[in-house]
Amino acid sequence: MTAIRTARAVRVVAHRGASHEHPEHTLAAYRQAVADGADALECDVRLTADRRLVCVHDRRVERTSDGRGAVSAMTYEELAALDFGAWKGAGHAGSRVLLFEDLLREALAAPRPVGLAVETKHPTRAGGLLESELVRLLARYGLADGGSGRVEVMSFSRTALTRLHRLAPGLPAVYLMERRLRPPRPPYATHAGPGIELVRRDPGLVGRLKAKGLTVRVWTVDQPADVELCVRLGVDTLITNRPRDVRKLLRDL
């Protein structure tokens, strides 16, 4: 009974949207994630040459679009002319790059409360401009003080998290961990985000992080065995490309 209650309480965050089915970071992927029951939507944000915040994972656009070049060297208009869907299959052709502000509006307009987990990319470039623009946009929607409980920020970079903490001390922050590192410490991060490979190699890590008072978000958890492992270890949030499948597994555990 306790195990069932625990599994059902685990938060499900859609990694780049329902990105197993749809092209990542597109409106279609995020709408599917909301329909699939995700508690929150994960996105990576980068600054364009004209300082717009867009949802793109890679430094360059080649993998996920029909264009060439670095996001930071292109204007929003140039990015908006590209096809960000066809790489995933002909049925997805015509998907456009998503402005972070449009994703924000989409989450706020969802038929039920949906959170946002925003990961800042290229943190050491642009001297903090990305973090400032992110906090400026969040503030415009009354979300920068963390009071809504709807938004959290994430980064692999302590520099980025420290900057974000200075700009918006109330925003929950997740320190992402790809390999063994010193665990995060408040104030720059209040949550830890180890990758699933790290957790598989060192399952005791979750307990050690929890013992320090940190909540634990694990990415990217798509396999049933990994879902079960995380539930057993007391992970509070699963970040997944397959929100519908993971939600179902959690219900059935």
Question: By C-beta, is 100 or 219 nearer to ligand G3P?
Answer: 219
Q: 12 or 154, CB closer to ligand G3P?
A: 154
Pick one of Ca ion, ligand G3P, none as the site partner of residue 239 (Cβ within 5 to 8 A by kind): ligand G3P
Nearest residue to ligand G3P, by Cβ distance, number only:
219
Closer CB to ligand G3P, 46 or 247, in the complex: 46
Residues of the shown chain interacting with ligand G3P in the complex, contacts defined by CB under 6 A: 15, 42, 44, 57, 119, 154, 176, 193, 219, 239
Q: Which is nearer to Ca ion, 7 or 48 (CB)?
A: 48
Q: How many helices (H) and strands (E) does the chain have?
A: 10, 10
**Whose CA is closest to 95, among 16, 22, 14?**
22
Residue 174 beta carbon to ligand G3P: minimum distance, rounded to whole angstroms: 8
Binding partner of 22, given Ca ion, ligand G3P, none, CB within 5-8 angstroms per partner class: none
Q: Is 57 a catalytic residue?
A: yes
Contacts of 139 (CB under 8 A, 6+ apart): 168
Q: What's the rounded Cα separation, in Å, for the pair 51 and 40?
A: 25
Q: Which of 25, 57, 92, 165 is catalytic?
A: 57
* H-helix segments, 40-183: 76-80, 100-108, 129-140, 158-167
We find the least distance from the C-beta atom of residue 2 to ligand G3P, in angstroms, to be: 28
CA distance 30 to 17: 4
Beta carbon of residue 77, minimum distance to Ca ion (angstroms, whole number): 25
Structure tokens at 245: 């499948």
Least gap, CB of 22 to Ca ion (angstroms)? 16
Q: At residue 39, what is the residue type?
A: D
d(CA 203, CA 230): 9
Whether 15 is catalytic? yes
Residue pair 219/178 in contact (Cβ under 8 Å)? The answer is no
- Residues recognised as catalytic: 15, 57
